[in-house]
Structure 1
């Protein structure tokens, strides 16, 4: 299975600090690679992956303001779709823009909808509804106007979050500084509860920070410490008495909520968006309606078992669970969209199909090979376009270079393999009396097809009668 994973380019994958979509893409990619899936990650050039990194964008545009986001987004997305035939499936994490390319390829596209920035983007999703596959990240974030394959909750890298059964005394706000995330409300909650508050995260709304947050910072009871990396994040979340999450919007998911639970830290949140799906009230946190109720919940935080918080994170929000669910969807999609032209070794494109010949462009992936086979009704002529294939023809072993040609006589046992690191591309011209895929007798095969031989040429006598009639009618239609 060859997966193209399309990541956003606002931040690196995985992000150095902020970048929730990029973090999920990285966790999914690494998890799939560990399962033996071949994943090509389309992300910024400074990204890190154990899969195959393909990049045209030099750096994240949020870290380099000289980059025009729209220009580099177009270059980034078009790069993948120009290579779409190389993959069995495209997994899009880039919002709605890649959908507009999906009609240009037969490669199936799965889109994880990470949330709707506004209802104004819904028409793009509606246009491609039923043409691509959609996954929601919570039940709360579904549009009734769209069809979804499943809801797949985000998973986290549990080993990166240390369980801490001995919490500190401070409250924590961890997330982007923006009115909808409730930074000001978190300050009010901490003040009413007479607790220290640490604020960590990227400032997304500078005016909001300047007018609503900065005047309340005293460096002792209310502190802002900026963006933090993974190590500091683990320490902050694990040592907090509770995470405050007083959101004022329908949040699609809350990674920081799950990460806090993984460290054993309960969460006090408003019941908006996905929060009722993530937080079991009284078990791994409290769902409260306002600042006053949140301050009261701080005093009851000792009722929450930190071990239960960790257990819920392990059972419901692990990376492995997320990978399992996406793998299941991949297999389901590939079963529904079986493509004759895509095989485990690569794929082909029919360039010409006439009564007296057939021409294919064939791509063989690195390290792959076709079956050892022969044809009873056709001969073939191959010309190498790129790569360095190794060809077996009866007792011969022949290495070819770009521009080389070779003839495969009717009845000759033959096989082509790609021992190199780049795809092999060659043009195959078939000549004979029959060009069907069932004229293949396999002797050895890496994919368990030897001996099957596609029903051993499907009772050739009857097939040939039907084919000759079909060929005659096609010839009359094409040539008058």
Structure 2
């Protein structure tokens, strides 16, 4: 199974600091590669992966303000779909825009919907509902107007989060600084309880930060430490008394919530969106309705068994579980959309099909070969576009490279093999009085397709 993984390009995959979608894409990609799945990751050129990396965008546009985002997004998405026929499935993590390219290829497109930034984007999802396949990242984030293949919660790399058994002393806000995330509400909780507060994350709304956050920073009780990388993230999450999550929108998932609990830190959140799917009330944290209830609940955090927080993440939100869920979906979609033009050795595209003439563009994967075969009612002419073809003709092996051709008259035994490291692409021109695929006799085949040929049908 060959998967094209389409990552966003706001940040590197995986991100150095912030980049939740890119982080999920990286974890899934590396998990699939570890399971032996052939993945090509379409991401920024500075991304890090064990998959095959294909890129037109050198770095994330959020890290280079000279880059015009829409230009690079269009180039990035088109790169995937212009090469779409090379894959069994395209997995889109880039929101709604790639759906508008989906009719460029016969390859099925699976989109993980990482949330709806606005109701205004729903018409695009509705247009391609039924044409493309959708994954929800929580039950709470499902739109009643769409059909979903499955709900797959995100997984986190459990082993990268260090467990702390003792309760910390400070409260923690961890996420993008934006009104939706409730940074100001966290400051209010800290002010009214007298507890210290650490704020970590990118400033997504500078006006909000300047007005609602910055005036309260004192470098003592309430401090802002900026956007942090993995090492400092572990220290902050594990050392907190509680992660505060007073969200003001229906959050689709919340990676920081899962990451905090992986360190053993309880979460006190507003009960909106996916929070009831992540936090077990009274066991791994508390679900509250407003600031007053959040403040009243904080005194009970010390009674939470931090080991249960970690166990909850290990059993329900691991990368291994996420990868297994996606593999099941991939297999189901590929089975549903089985295409005649995709074979174990590669794929083909019919360019012309008329009486007495058929033209195909054939791609053979590295290390693969077609059966040793002959035809009784058609001849073929091959023209090599790219790669090196090792052609066996009546037992004799001959190499052909880009720009060279090969003739195969009727009843010639022949086989083509790609022994190189890149795809072999050639044009096949068929001529004759019958061009059906049943006009074939195989003497050797790597895929068990040898059968007795009925010569009486000639």
Q: Please, what TM-score do these two structures have when normalized by structure 2?
A: 0.97
Taking the aligned partners of 2:302 and 2:317, their CA distance within structure 1 comes to: 23
CA offset digits 1:18-69 (Å, max 9, x no partner): 0000100111111111111111111111111111111111221111111111
Secondary structure at the counterpart of residue 31 of structure 1: helix
For 2:35, the equivalent position in structure 1 comes to: 35
2:381 aligned residue: 381
User: For the Cα contact (< 8 Å) 1:174–1:201, is it kept in 2?
Assistant: yes
| Partner residue in 2 for 1:56 | 56
**Residue 62 of structure 2: SS of its match in structure 1?**
coil
**Deviation per CA, 1:358-393, whole angstroms, max 9, x where unpaired?**
221111122222223333443322121111111122
Provide the rounded CA distance (Å) in 1 between the counterparts of 2:12 and 2:18. Answer: 9
**Distance in structure 1 (CA, Å) of the matches to 2:439 and 2:261:** 59
User: Which residue of structure 2 lines up, in the alignment, with residue 449 of structure 1?
Assistant: 448
SS of residue paired to 1:361: strand
| Aligned partners of 1:442 and 1:449 also within 8 Å | no
Partner of 1:469: none
CA distance in 2, matches of 1:417, 1:340: 20
Q: Which residue of 2 aligns with 1:107?
A: 107
- Provide the rounded CA distance (Å) in 2 between the counterparts of 1:436 and 1:308: 63
Q: What residue is the counterpart of 2:158 in the other structure?
A: 158
State whether structure 2 residue 106 is matched by structure 1 residue 75: no
Q: How does 1:65-464 map to 2 (within 5 A)?
A: 65-446=65-446, 448-451=447-450, 453=451, 456=452, 461=456
For residues 443 and 25 of structure 2, the distance between their equivalents in structure 1, rounded to whole angstroms, comes to 41
CA distance in 1, matches of 2:441, 2:173: 66
What displacement does 1:336 show?
0.8
1:435 deviates by: 2.1
Secondary structure of 2:61 counterpart:
coil
C-alpha separation in 1, matches of 2:126 and 2:288:
35
Cα distance in 2 between the residues matched to 1:3 and 1:344: 14
Note the C-alpha offset of 1:277. Answer: 0.9
8 Å Cα contact 1:193-1:296 kept in structure 2: no
Query: Could you list the per-position Cα deviations for residues 293-344 of structure 1 after superposition, in whole angstroms to 9, with x for gaps in the alignment?
Result: 1122221012211111111101111111111111111111111111101112
CA contact (8 A) 2:167 2:302 kept: no
Q: How far is the alpha carbon of 1:430 from its aligned partner? A: 2.2
1:7 and 1:42 in contact (8 A); partners too: yes
**Per-residue deviation, 1:421:** 2.0
The count of corresponding residues between Structure 1 and Structure 2 is 458
Residue range with higher mean Cα deviation, 120-129 or 293-302: 293-302
**TM-score w.r.t. structure 1 length?**
0.92
Q: Which moved further from structure 2: 43-52 or 356-365?
A: 356-365
Whole-angstrom distance in 2 between the partners of 1:392 and 1:309: 62
Partner of 1:473: none
2:14 match: 14
Aligned-pair distance for 1:355? 2.7
CA contact (8 A) 1:193 1:299 kept: no
- Write the distance in 2 (CA, Å) between the matches of 1:414 and 1:297: 76
Task: Report the CA distance shift for 1:460/1:300 in structure 2 as closer, same or farther (over 3 A).
Answer: farther
Cα drift, residue 158 of structure 1: 1.0
Instruction: State how far apart, in whole Å, the 2-side matches of 1:352 and 1:233 are.
Output: 57
SS at match of 1:59: coil
Distance 2:365 2:420 in 1: 9
SS of equivalent to 2:373 = strand
Unpaired runs of 5+ residues, structure 2, are none
Contact 2:356 2:435 in 1 (8 A): no
Provide the aligned C-alpha RMSD in A.
Answer: 1.5
2:82–2:104 Cα contact (<8 Å) kept:
no
8 Å Cα contact 1:171/1:195 also seen in 2: yes
Within 2, Cα distance between the matches of 1:414 and 1:314? 54
Q: Could you list the runs of 4 or more consecutive aligned residues of structure 1 that deviate by over 6 angstroms after TM superposition?
A: none
Question: Structure 1, unaligned stretches of length 5 or more?
Answer: 465-480
